[in-house]
Every structure is written in structure tokens, then in C-alpha cells.
């Protein structure tokens, strides 16, 4: 059977599927390795969620992109070849040979093969822009991943608190069965003394069977919740596992959701793209050296194959981007405005959810205050009914009615307590202040 810890009015109990209730101290619980709290459930669900593996891929992508951008400062080597045939070549206008001078004749087929190395001196800031873009893109992707994880936390909340609610309902069902069994024993004693009818025992026995049926249904539902939760945390939730009921979280109204960082860094990307447009319009300066072999070489008076080399500076200044610069900047501005609208819409919807969840928290707190008073009154009436049943002045039917009324009051209190806790943790999730102490990412 799965063991769970439950709190009722400041006392912590250890409960199991059968009637097995004992006090568990905070120190004793802290020393046990087979406990699962809500924060640990968040961590395990995050660790085992398939999407989390993208985090390493995103970091590796950034690393490769930065490395590639940095290589833009390294010299670029190239090998080129060319073979041409031309319709005319350089000729000399001298008709009469000059004494001691042999005029060259040039072949119309010419050949050249050469290697060249280019070293960037100034690129207008393009490489630095690419590095900043890689770093910002990584943050955008990481924040987008965090957005997906918040949907995961919401599902963990539903399963974790659903399982806790069912366990406390099972415990209350056990107390109900004890009350009914107590009535059965008293009714049997009255029948044995000839002061009650057998039908009183039958009615109470039937009610006991119905309570046991309800218990079986609760156990089946609890097993289903725990099976689904075990899929998320990738950990078997067996007999020795204790689900720890959390304390009420400290609620903060400040919205720190990852969507906000996502919007901010996405705007930063548009700013970097604007910087890139201007960087591409700046002049580019580089140093080059070239060495080759061909016909003709650098000697204009020679028609033979020669080796050669040359080096110097290259200046390139392309103004083609000016034609589209203004339109490109307008498009980037429109994209940033669209992001601002998306961010405002997200905050608007988030505040609406905050208001709704805050109202739920207030509602459940008020209901719990009334629950304590109702339970006290119902318990008093039930005890009086038990005494009356024992004295033969109250029918079994009326006793069952009072027992069920007290059980309903306690079930309502259990439900409201869990609804309050879940509403508080949902509020944390909505505002982005969910607690994952000792996160796996640290």
C-alpha cells in the first residue's frame, strides 16, 4: 500500500490504505529517503521530460555558432585556376627590328594557377554581430523551453494534489467505517437483548458495505493518479513512498514568467539584425598575398611560363544595401511592435488568471474557517446519536444519517484544504515564482 503523510489541524499523520495511522515527526520524515515532495516532483519531472534534452542541444548549437563566427578572423585560403583563349594579344607597332632587341610575341592561349590568402583587417563589425546574435538566440531558445516546462509544472500539480486529496479521503473513509462498525456492534447488542430489530443491523451493515465500496473506488482513483505521476517523475511510487503534503507557499504578485524574457531577448535579436544591416554597409578592409604560376607572368615582356607573387590591401565598399535599408528597418520596427503587443496581451491574460486564482484562494480560506465549526457541531451530534443508539432511543437509520453528515463535513474540509493548496501553487506557477529548490540545473 502507498503511504502518504497528511496534516489535519497542525498534526502530521502517516496513513496507508488499510487502517494504519501513526504520528510522523518532522525530523523523522526528513531523514527518510523514500519521500516525494512537490519541489522534488517538479525537479524529477523536469529532468525526465523528453523536451529537456533540447537544453544541451541549444548550448551546443551556441558553442558551434560562436566558434564558426570567431573563425571569420582567420585567414582564408583559396586556389584558383584559369585557362583562356583570346582573339587578340598585345603587339608592338615597330616594323623594323631594333638592333639588339628581340620583340616578344604573345600566345593567344594563356594559363594561370594561383593560391591566395586573405586576412580580415576590418569587417565593419559583422563578426561581432554574429557572435552577439548566437548568444542572444541561445537565450531566446532557452526561455522558450522554460515556457514549455511551466505547462509541465501545472500537470504535476494536478496529479500530486489529486493523489494527496484521494489519500486523505481514504483515511476519512476508514474513520467513517469505524463509526459505522461501532453502530453495528451496538445494534447487535440491542438485538441480543431483544430491544431492537434485526433490520437495524442489516441497515448498518449495508451502509458499511457502501462505505467499503467507496473506499475501493478511492483506492483505484489514487492508483491511477500515482501511475500517471510516476510516468512524469520516472520513479516507482510503491508502498514505501511517502507523498509529503507541502506547506502553503509564499505567494508573490510579481510576474517573472520566462515569456517576458523571451519577448525581451527576441526584441534584442531584431536590434542586432538592424545593427547587421548597417555593418554590411561599412567598408571592408583586408590584407592579401597571392602566389602563382602561369603564362604570361607579371613580366609584360615575357611570353613564357613564370612563377610570381604579389600582396597588398583590399578595400571593398558595397552600397547595394542602401536601396533596401529603410524598408528593412521598417520591417524590423514592425516586428518589435508586434512583440510588444504580444507581451502586453500575455501580461493582460496573466493578470486575469491571477485575479481568478486570488479569488479562489480567498474563497477556500473562508470555507475552511466555516468547516472547522461545522465539523465540531456534526461531531457533537454524532456522539449524541451514538449514545442514543446504544440506549435504544434512536433508530439505525437516524444514526447513519448523523454519521454521514459528519463524514460529509470532514470530506468537505479535506477537499477545501487541498483546493486551497493547489490554488496557491497554481498561482505560483501563473506568476512564474514556482519553487524548485536545489534545481537540477544548478
CA–CA separation, 179 and 183 (whole Å): 6
Q: What is the rounded average pLDDT of the residues 19-25?
A: 33
CA distances from 398 to 154, 379, 401 (A): 44, 15, 5
Residue 248 — left, alpha, or beta (φ > 0 → left; ψ -120 to 50 → alpha)? beta
Provide the whole-model pTM: 0.74
Looking at the domain assignment, is residue 151 inside a domain? yes
Q: How many domains does the chain have?
A: 1
Q: What is the rounded average pLDDT of the residues 269-283?
A: 92
pLDDT at 196 over 80: no
Mean pLDDT of all residues in the chain?
Answer: 83
Residues 29-82: pLDDT tens digits?
443 557 889 999 998 988 888 888 888 888 888 888 888 888 888 899 999 999
The answer to which of 111-115, 182-186, 237-241, 427-431 has the lowest mean pLDDT is: 237-241
Residues 371-398: pLDDT tens digits?
999 999 999 998 998 888 888 888 888 8
Give the rounded percent of residues in the chain with a pLDDT score beyond 90: 38
CA–CA separation, 138 and 188 (whole Å): 75
Looking at the domain assignment, is residue 95 inside a domain? no
Q: Please provide the size of the chain in residues.
A: 442
Residue 89 has phi, psi (to 5 degrees) of -130, 170
Give the rounded percent of residues in the chain with a pLDDT score beyond 70: 87
Looking at the domain assignment, is residue 72 inside a domain? no
Residues 344-360: pLDDT tens digits?
999 999 999 999 999 99
What pairs with residue 311 in β-bridges?
289
Beta carbons of 186 and 389 less than 8 angstroms apart:
yes
Looking at the domain assignment, is residue 356 inside a domain? yes
Q: Which residue has the cell 494504519?
A: 20
Looking at the domain assignment, is residue 314 inside a domain? no
Q: Pull the grid cell for residue 21.
A: 495511522
CA–CA separation, 129 and 284 (whole Å): 15
Residues 356-378: pLDDT tens digits?
999 999 999 999 999 999 999 99
The answer to which of 187-201, 298-312, 415-429 has the lowest mean pLDDT is: 187-201
Looking at the domain assignment, is residue 288 inside a domain? no
CA distances from 241 to 230, 237, 436, 440 (A): 11, 6, 20, 21
Q: What is the rounded average pLDDT of the residues 278-295?
A: 92
CA–CA separation, 245 and 170 (whole Å): 15
Looking at the domain assignment, is residue 11 inside a domain? yes
Looking at the domain assignment, is residue 158 inside a domain? yes
Residue 405 sits in a domain of what CATH number? 1.20.1600.10
Task: Name the more confident of 13 and 111.
Answer: 111
How would residue 334 be classed by pLDDT, with cut points 50, 70 and 90? very high
Range of the domain at 257: 3-62+133-264+330-431
pLDDT at 5 over 70: no
Q: Which residue has the cell 514549455?
A: 148
Beta carbons of 277 and 327 less than 8 angstroms apart:
no
CA–CA separation, 107 and 25 (whole Å): 102
Q: What is the rounded average pLDDT of the residues 334-339?
A: 94
Amino acid at each position: 500500500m502507498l503511504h502518504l503523510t497528511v496534516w489535519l489541524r497542525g498534526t502530521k499523520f502517516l496513513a496507508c490504505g488499510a487502517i494504519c495511522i501513526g504520528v510522523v515527526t518532522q525530523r523523522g520524515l526528513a531523514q527518510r529517503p523514500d519521500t516525494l515532495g512537490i519541489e522534488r516532483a517538479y525537479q524529477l519531472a523536469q529532468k525526465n521530460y523528453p523536451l529537456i534534452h533540447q537544453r544541451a542541444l541549444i548550448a551546443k548549437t551556441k558553442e558551434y555558432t560562436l566558434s564558426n563566427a570567431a573563425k571569420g578572423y582567420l585567414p582564408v585560403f583559396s586556389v584558383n585556376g584559369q585557362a583562356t583563349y583570346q582573339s587578340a594579344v598585345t603587339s608592338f607597332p615597330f616594323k623594323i627590328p631594333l638592333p639588339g632587341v628581340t620583340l616578344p610575341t604573345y600566345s593567344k592561349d594563356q594559363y594561370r594557377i594561383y593560391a591566395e590568402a586573405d586576412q580580415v583587417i576590418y569587417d565593419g563589425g559583422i563578426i561581432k554581430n554574429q557572435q552577439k546574435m548566437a548568444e542572444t538566440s541561445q537565450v531566446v531558445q532557452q526561455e522558450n523551453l522554460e515556457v514549455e516546462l511551466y505547462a509541465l509544472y501545472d500537470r504535476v500539480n494536478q496529479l500530486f494534489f489529486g493523489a494527496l486529496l484521494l489519500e486523505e479521503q481514504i483515511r476519512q473513509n476508514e474513520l467513517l467505517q469505524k463509526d459505522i462498525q461501532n453502530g453495528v456492534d451496538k445494534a447487535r447488542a440491542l438485538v441480543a437483548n431483544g430491544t431492537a430489530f434485526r433490520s437495524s443491523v442489516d441497515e448498518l451493515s449495508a451502509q458499511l458495505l457502501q462505505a467499503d465500496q467507496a473506499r475501493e473506488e478511492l483506492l483505484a482513483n489514487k492508483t491511477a493518479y500515482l501511475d500517471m505521476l510516476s510516468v512524469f517523475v520516472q520513479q516507482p511510487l510503491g508502498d514505501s513512498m511517502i507523498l509529503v503534503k507541502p506547506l502553503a507557499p509564499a505567494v508573490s504578485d510579481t510576474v517573472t514568467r520566462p515569456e517576458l524574457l523571451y519577448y525581451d531577448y527576441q526584441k534584442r535579436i531584431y536590434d542586432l539584425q538592424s545593427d547587421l544591416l548597417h555593418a554590411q554597409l561599412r567598408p571592408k578592409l583586408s590584407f592579401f598575398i597571392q602566389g602563382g604560376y602561369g603564362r604570361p607572368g607579371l613580366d609584360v615582356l615575357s611570353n613564357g611560363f613564370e612563377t610570381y607573387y604579389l600582396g597588398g590591401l583590399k578595400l571593398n565598399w558595397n552600397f547595394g544595401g542602401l536601396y533596401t535599408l529603410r524598408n528593412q528597418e521598417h520591417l524590423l520596427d514592425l516586428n518589435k511592435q508586434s512583440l510588444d503587443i504580444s507581451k502586453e496581451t500575455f501580461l493582460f491574460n496573466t493578470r486575469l488568471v491571477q485575479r481568478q486564482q486570488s479569488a479562489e484562494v480567498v474563497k477556500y480560506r473562508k470555507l475552511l474557517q466555516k468547516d472547522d465549526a461545522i465539523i465540531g457541531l456534526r461531531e457533537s451530534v454524532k456522539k449524541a446519536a451514538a449514545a442514543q443508539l446504544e440506549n435504544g432511543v434512536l433508530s439505525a437509520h437516524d444514526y447513519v444519517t448523523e454519521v454521514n453528515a459528519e463524514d460529509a463535513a470532514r470530506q468537505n474540509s479535506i477537499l477545501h484544504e487541498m483546493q486551497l493548496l493547489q490554488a496557491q501553487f497554481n498561482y505560483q506557477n501563473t506568476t512564474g515564482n514556482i519553487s524548485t529548490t536545489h534545481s537540477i540545473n544548478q
